[in-house]
């Protein structure tokens, strides 16, 4: 296992795992029951580093670069919910540490709930951060436009940081720095996102699929977390989701936008540990 130069802490081992269907890059640390963490669209596993540091005394935390993202494989096609969920199942089987707790943000939340519904024997529980059914069409239109605009050439890391700080005004500077240092690769003339533009476009389209059956049918414990000022998950979408599944606990994080785990890591940590302990 090689220590990756781009991990924010030298306590993280970064390596690639061949699941038989795809090879995924992961960052891992800690000891205990298996906890897998899945980032949002265009992001990568490094964004969970601060959370993993705090959880590593209780869990074997493994953050995953999902397909098309980070340093994982980037196939030409296969960016629907089921493709991502099948990757999660393959990874859990390959790791062979028993069923996993899944923590997902946005795209990662959608994929984690899908995996729990499809492969209940491989999943203990899910923390689904700021993604639910009933997201309005115009919100998904805006998301898709934003995702497709992110594929650009940057002169250096400072330019990346300036761009990200403008795009994510509520994410604190240290978390922006993690994104800037982990999510881009040197190319002729500067830096480009590691995430594949084609994969991002297909993934954004896939986020429009109807999630109601998945949330309706999932039998594993699921905690729904929403940022109070999230522009992705409206209060109405959350209310409809709660009517669909009144049994699923909900945490609304005060003052947080969509990027809950980066904006409010302490509250996110508390929500996760309270849910698991309960």
pLDDT of residue 69: 98
Q: Give me the catalytic one of 45, 130, 182, 264.
A: 130
Query: Which residues make beta-bridge pairs with 60?
Result: 34
Q: Would you kindly state where each structural domain of the chain is located, as residue ranges?
A: 13-135+210-277
Show pLDDT as tens, one digit a residue, over the chain (278 residues): 333 334 444 489 999 999 999 999 999 999 999 999 999 999 999 999 999 999 999 999 999 999 999 999 999 999 999 999 999 999 999 999 999 999 999 999 999 999 999 999 999 999 999 999 999 999 999 999 999 888 899 999 999 999 999 999 999 999 999 999 999 999 999 999 999 999 999 999 999 999 999 999 999 999 999 999 999 999 999 999 999 999 999 999 999 999 999 999 999 999 999 999 99
Q: Give me the catalytic one of 69, 230, 258, 264.
A: 258
Residue 139, burial from CB neighbour count under 10 angstroms (0-12, 13-18, 19+): middle
Q: What is the CATH number of domain 13-135+210-277?
A: 3.40.50.1820
Residues 230, 125: Cα–Cα separation, whole Å? 23
- Residue 242's nearest CA partner among 228, 227, 225, 266 is 225
Ranges of beta strands (E only) in the chain are 13-18, 23-29, 34-38, 60-64, 100-105, 123-129, 184-187, 190-193, 222-227, 250-253
Helix (H) or strand (E) segment spanning residue 108: helix 107-118
The answer to whether residue 15 is catalytic is: no
Q: What angle do CA 252, 260, 101 make, to 5 degrees?
A: 85
pLDDT of residue 128: 98
pLDDT of residue 1: 34
Q: Can you say whether the dihedral through the CA atoms of 193, 48, 138, 133 is positive or negative?
A: positive
pLDDT of residue 6: 41
Residues 211-256: tens digit of each pLDDT: 999 999 999 999 999 999 999 999 999 999 999 999 999 999 999 9
pLDDT of residue 11: 82
Query: Residue 249 is encoded by which pair of tokens?
Result: 């606990």
Residues 197, 175: Cα–Cα separation, whole Å? 23
- Residue 40's nearest CA partner among 191, 179, 244, 224 is 179
pLDDT of residue 151: 87
- Residue 164's nearest CA partner among 128, 89, 173, 155 is 173
Query: What 8-state DSSP symbol labels residue 47?
Result: G
User: How many whole angstroms from its chain centre is CA 61?
Assistant: 14
pTM exceeds 0.85? yes
Q: Give me the catalytic one of 106, 196, 230, 264.
A: 106
The answer to whether residue 105 is catalytic is: no
Phi-psi category of residue 187: left, alpha or beta, with phi > 0 → left and psi -120 to 50 → alpha: beta
The answer to whether residue 83 is catalytic is: no
Query: Which residues make beta-bridge pairs with 47?
Result: none
Integer angstrom CA distances of residue 142 from 147, 276, 277? 9, 34, 37
């Amino acid at each position: 296992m090689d220590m990756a130069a781009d991990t924010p802490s030298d306590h993280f081992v970064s390596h690639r795992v061949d699941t038989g269907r795809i090879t995924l890059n992961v960052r891992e640390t800690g000891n205990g029951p298996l906890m897998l963490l899945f980032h949002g669209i265009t992001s990568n596993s490094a964004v969970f580093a601060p959370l993993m540091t705090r959880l590593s005394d209780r869990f074997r935390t493994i953050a995953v670069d999902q397909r098309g993202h980070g340093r994982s494989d980037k196939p030409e096609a296969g960016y629907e919910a089921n493709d991502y969920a099948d990757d999660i199942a393959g990874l859990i089987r390959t790791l062979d540490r028993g069923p996993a707790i899944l923590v997902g943000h946005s795209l990662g939340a959608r994929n984690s709930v899908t995996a729990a519904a499809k492969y209940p024997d491989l999943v203990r529980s899910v923390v689904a951060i700021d993604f639910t059914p009933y997201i309005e069409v115009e919100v998904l239109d805006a998301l898709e436009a934003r995702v497709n605009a992110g594929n650009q050439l940057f002169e250096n890391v400072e330019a990346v940081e300036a761009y990200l700080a403008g795009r994510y005004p509520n994410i604190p500077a240290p978390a922006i720095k993690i994104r800037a240092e982990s999510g881009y690769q040197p190319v002729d003339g500067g830096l480009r996102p590691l995430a594949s533009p084609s994969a991002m476009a297909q993934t954004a389209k896939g986020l429009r699929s109807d999630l109601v059956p998945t949330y309706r049918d999932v039998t594993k414990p699921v905690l729904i977390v929403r940022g109070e000022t999230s522009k992705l998950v409206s209060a109405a979408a959350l209310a409809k989701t709660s009517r669909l599944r009144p049994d699923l606990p909900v945490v609304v994080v005060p003052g947080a936008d969509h990027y809950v785990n980066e904006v409010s890591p302490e509250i996110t940590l508390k929500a996760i540990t309270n849910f698991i302990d309960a």
